Amino acid sequence: MGRASGKVAVITGGARGMGAAFARRLVEEGASVVLTDVLSDEGLATAEALGDHAHFIAHDVTQADQWAKVVEVAERRFGPISVLVNNAGIAAYGPIEDTSEVEFRRIVDINMVSIFLGTKAVIPSMRRAGGGAIINISSAAGIVGLPQMLGYVGTKFAVRGMTKSAALELAPLNIRVNSIHPGTIDTPMSQLSGDPELTAAVNSVTPAGRVGQPDEIASVVVLLASDECAFATGAEFVIDGGLTCH
C-alpha cells in the first residue's frame, strides 16, 4: 500500500510545474487525484498520462460556483475529498507606483481569495471523509519580504496566516491545515529554464547553491497528505535551500 492509499485529492494549478509533480507523486502513492487549472490542454495531457486515478477539470479558482463543481466531480468520480492542495498562484513583479489596482486585485484573488474559497468548499466533503488534510502552497516570500513584489509577498504572508487560523478552527473536525514555503523552484512560473544568468543569480543567493526541483516539494506534499503527519497542523514547512536563513 502507498502512503496516500485511498486518499482523494484535489490539486489546483495541477496542469504543470509543481502541481503536476504533486499529482504524479500522489497517484504513485495510491491516491486518486482531481487536477484543476485554467490551462486545459496541459491539464488534460497531465491527467491522461497519470491514468485512471487522475481526472482533469477546467477551473478558475477565484469563482465559488466553480469550486462547487470541482467538489461535485471529485465526489462523483472518486468519493469524498480527503486532501486539498491549494497550489494555484501567480507572481507579479514591478514597483508599487507602477502597479495598477486591477493588477493588485488579480493577484489577491488568485493567491489569497482562492484559499478561502477552496477551504470553504471542501469542508463538507472532508466531514464525509472523516477528516482530511489541506495543504496551502505559500512561498519563501511568505517568510521574508522581497522588493517590487508587494502583491505576491503580501498574499503569500496572508496564506501563512490563513493556514494557522483555519488549522485552529478545523482541528475538531480532524482536518489538518499546513503551509509549504518553497524557495525558487525550476518551474515555468520561475522562468529559469533557458536563462543561465538568472539561474546563476538565484544560485548565488541560495546557501544550497542551486534551485529546487518540483519533486522535492512533492515529497513534502505526500508527507502532509499521509497519515504519517497526523499530528502536524498549523505548521509551516520551509523548503528553500536555506534562502530564508540569512
What amino acid positions are annotated as catalytic residues?
A: 152
Q: Centre a 10 Å sphere on the Cβ of residue 192 and count the other Cβ atoms it contains.
A: 18
Pick from 245, 189, 232, 226: nearest CA to 18: 189
Task: Tell me the torsion sign for CA atoms 233, 239, 242, 246.
Answer: negative
Q: How far apart are CA 204 and CA 144, in angstroms?
A: 18
Pick from 61, 154, 65: nearest CA to 116: 61
Contacts (Cβ under 8 Å, ≥6 apart) of 123? 170, 173, 175
Cell of 181: 514555503
Cell of 164: 494557522
Grid cell 502536524 in the structure block, residue:
232
Distances (CA, A) of 147 to 31, 92, 141: 39, 11, 10
